[in-house]
Chains A and B, each alone.
Chain A
Amino acid sequence: MTIKLKVNREERSIDVDPDKPLLWALREDMKLPGTKFGCGAGLCGACTVLLDGQPVRSCQTPIGSVGNAAITTIEDVSSQPAGPAVLAAWQELDVPQCGYCQAGQIMTATWMLGEFPDVSPDDIDGMMSGNICRCSTYMRIREAIGQAAKTVRTGEKA
């Protein structure tokens, strides 16, 4: 069936099975491959996207359930309030190793810093614990979030 969606600030219309997970609709039907498949079970966070600014596991979200919610993927994360600061810190500290999980890490971190720019180290570990990094770039992720949080708090341009 034809489904209308708001993806990365654009209206899209795709012909797709409404049960198809958002992850696969993004990757296959909308040619947005930045959102990654890791587990297909909501366990690793590689497929994290934002729906109306809130993080969801796109592998567990049927495309038919998205409705009018605005979808933001890694390809447009800079449109989010904390997005530019997060992207700048991620590059300055060269967070990725293999890089495969980083889209999901960045989406969660961007949501988190948009809502809670005063996060403590414990908050960071708690809110980022749904995103697995198999290369274990966790030290660098914490550091980058700390740096981005500072940028967000001071209102500096990233």
Chain B
Amino acid sequence: MNAPAISRRSFIAASLIGAGVVAFDARLALGAPGDEAAGTVNAYVRILPDNRFVIGAKNPEIGQGVKTMLPMLIAEELDIDWDQVVVEQTPVNSATYGRQVAGGSRTTPTSWLLMRQAGAAARSMLVQAAAAKWAVDAGTLTTASGMVSHAGSGRSASYASLAADAAKLAAPALEEVPLKDEADFGIIGTSRMGVDTPAIVTGKPLYGIDTDLPNMAYAAIEICPVFKGTVVGFDEAAVKAVPGVISVVPVNSGLVEKGSFDALAIVADSWWTAKQARTKLNAKWDDAQFRKFSTDSYVEAAQAALAAPADGAIFKAGDAAAALKGAVKTVTADYDYPFLAHATLEPQNCTAQFDADGLTLWAPSQAPEGGRAQIAELMDLAPEAITIHLTRIGGGFGRRLMSDYMLQAAQIARAIPGRPVKLLYTREDDTAHDYYRPAGWHRFSAGLDEEGSIASFADHFVTFGEDGKPVRAAGLSEDEFPAPLVPNVDLSVSYLETNMPTGWLRAPGSNALGFVFQSFLDEVAEAAGVDLPTLMLRTLGEDRVFFPEKGAGAFNTGRARAVIEQVVKDAGWSHARPTPGSGKGRGFGFYFSHLGYFAEVLDAAVSQDGTITVEKVWVAGDIGSQVINPMNAMQQVQGSVIDGLAQAMIGQKIDQVDGAVVQRNFDGFPLMRIDGAPREIAVNFVKSQYSPTGLGEPALPPVIPALANAVYAASGKRIRSLGFA
């Protein structure tokens, strides 16, 4: 049949693992042949004696739906029915399972082919087993609903009854296993309820915060309010005098040097007790050198930086300054946006147990292997001595790509060996100790030629950096639209210093850059006497691909054009620019991020007192040839749209005074509520020939400029600064 599996980069192995259960373990090579560094990923399917199928889902589930989506891909090609599937979360071990990260909307593009190959290979072995048993040609056999059938003789057999024979067969080469024609899909492209939904709606323990172990202790934590400050002292006797308190443990959260501590964990027999005892802590910190950082200091420094030459260049083409001088019309404007918190509804938490066998964690983490590596380094543990159980996650949004809560829980557990301990932040801790979306400032200028095309485009971006490089999530890349399509460009950058920890917030970079670039381009369009879709299509020009070396990440102007034209059609967009100020207005925004192309139109009403009401949003998105789970996909898009509106119009911002964050709870950092959500969000997926890509993020960025541009159309007032309520 086929060459021995061992010689294959990708292979599948089937084995009887007892009680009639047969396991198919697929080892799938990532990347191009020869690129061994790309690694492998294992997918597994276990066939149970009753012809049900346990399928492993390897990635963290944060509400983006991957725990349902990944098994759908395998089940499709295995040719079983969805109600025969039992999904289980795989262990955390990226050496075995490949990338186990919920980030970058990357699970779909990295799994689309591999998971289908795994399912198809298992199916092929079951078919071979049936062919051998019945002495017929495998090509005469068909499969459906977990059964192999031979039409000629009327014979059929369940996969379970064939599994033991299949386990003895040599495995096929995964690359050669035929995949279904997309027209024959019965699971992919159909709506499937989330596999955890029944447990969610009946209150079953699923999340990190629900972890409950025998003899478990609980920890509250006080982290130095000023980032990077360290512990000097605290009133241990007063805390320990509280009945139920077990100990106070100094902790390193990962912001300060190894060997020093920036937090104190109060461990007690209940979390409520630990939280109450915390009020007796009276902690003293060494934080004087970091108290100089404040929102006011950044605003002042940013204005100074904008007035001075930039620190460095990001992208230059032609001569932007000269072209601006020679332009028929010029537009200049300053834009800015604040720091933002993630505000996952499940506060940061982690449970850990340390004993002779090593460290075990129950972690709601988007990047558990990152946590393992950081703990191993900080605590001088072998990575193999750390076991991580992944829980369901009550909201990610990028917050849980960071591992501070895992580091903290691990150190607390080591202080009380043998006893599991659950660390839980208060909401106030969670808001004041995040890894924030960085604030930023932009000074734009653009010049138009006689045809109304952009001849010159410049942005002086003031962001946060160290050693001439942006801090986490604070960068701007050379392919930011419209830079690659304009003859004279100057994207430059200046860096401010901060002690604020920064991190990735859903559609990182893009959530802010989409706002400033597409809003400024609406100003440019107005100067050109056209609407933004017209300027966009004019600037995109003929269909072509920029930065092809980025592969699927290369910017495809044809795909951009298609979604813009679609949303213009769906919304009945008029290309005439109405005179602003009627109280009602429509705005447009486009953005390409996370491999997805999204164009959005928004209708807003602005009342006399400035109150903004979003009436309806239209979305056209291209995420490739298939929308794997349409019911979930719709939710991802609608949720992203509302999330973007929350960032823009309800007063979300994080301020800093004396080195510490000001906001504490949902009164200071509001989240969108149902009465602020638009009544209608119409979503249209534009199918293209490309491999499917992810949907956790790319629908978010365009809605913010669509809102800002709609508010301008309605009121005549440009929104150039976010953080207002």
| A residues adjacent to B (C-beta < 8 A) | 17, 20-21, 24, 28-29, 31-41, 43-44, 46, 73-75, 77, 87, 90-103, 106, 121, 124-126, 128-142
Contact = CB atoms under 8 A, between A and B. Distances in A.
Interface of B: 62-65, 191, 193-194, 196-198, 200-207, 209-210, 212, 218, 270-272, 343-347, 392-397, 424, 426-427, 631-632, 635-636, 638-639, 641-643, 646, 665-667, 671-675, 677, 679, 681
Contacts of A28: 218, 270-272
B196 A99 contact: yes
A133 B347 CA distance: 14
Contacts of A138: 642, 672, 674, 677
Contact of A36 (B62, B212, B346, B666): B346
Given A38-B345, A41-B666, A91 B203 contact: no
Contacts of B271: 24, 28
Nearest to B218: A28
Contacts of A103: 200-201, 203
Contacts of A131: 673-674
A96 B212 CA distance: 23
Contact of B395 (A20, A77, A98): A98
B197 A94 contact: yes
Contact of A94 (B62, B631, B679): B631
B622 to A, nearest CB: 21
A75 B200 CA distance: 10
20 contacts: A33-B209, A40-B665, A41-B427, A41-B665, A44-B671, A73-B203, A96-B194, A97-B63, A98-B62, A98-B345, A99-B197, A100-B207, A100-B395, A125-B675, A131-B674, A132-B345, A136-B642, A137-B635, A138-B674, A142-B674
A75 B193 CA distance: 20
Nearest to A132: B671
A90 B639 contact: no
A96 B642 contact: no
B610 to A, nearest CB: 21
A44 B201 contact: no
Q: Select the residue from B63, B344, B641 with max chain A CB neighbours within 10 A.
A: B63
Contact of B200 (A35, A102, A129, A139): A102
Q: Select the residue from B65, B394, B667 with max chain A CB neighbours within 10 A.
A: B394
Contacts of B638: 136, 139-140
A93 B271 CA distance: 35
B415 to A, nearest CB: 21
| Main SS at interface, chain A | loop
Given A28-B270, A98-B395, A136 B63 contact: no
A75 B210 CA distance: 14
Contact of B345 (A35, A44, A75, A90): A44
A31 B212 contact: yes
B394 A99 contact: yes
Contacts of A142: 674
Q: Which 9 residue pairs are nearest across A and B when measured between Cβ atoms? A: A34-B203, A98-B63, A100-B394, A74-B203, A136-B642, A97-B63, A99-B200, A125-B675, A138-B677
B639 A97 contact: yes
Q: Select the residue from B395, B396, B632, B681 with max chain A CB neighbours within 10 A.
A: B395
A141 B206 CA distance: 21
Contacts of A32: 203
A40 B426 contact: yes
Q: Select the residue from A41, A87, A106 with max chain B CB neighbours within 10 A.
A: A41
B194 A141 contact: no
B666 A43 contact: yes
Contact of A132 (B346, B631, B643, B666): B666
B674 A129 contact: yes
Contacts of B346: 36, 38, 98, 100
B554 to A, nearest CB: 30
Nearest to A107: B203
Given A74-B203, A98-B63, A129-B674, A37 B347 contact: yes
B197 A96 contact: yes
B343 A96 contact: no
A28 B584 CA distance: 51
B673 to A, nearest CB: 5
B646 A136 contact: yes
B667 A74 contact: no
A98 B394 contact: yes
B667 A43 contact: yes
Q: Select the residue from A35, A94, A106, A128 with max chain B CB neighbours within 10 A.
A: A94
B675 A36 contact: no
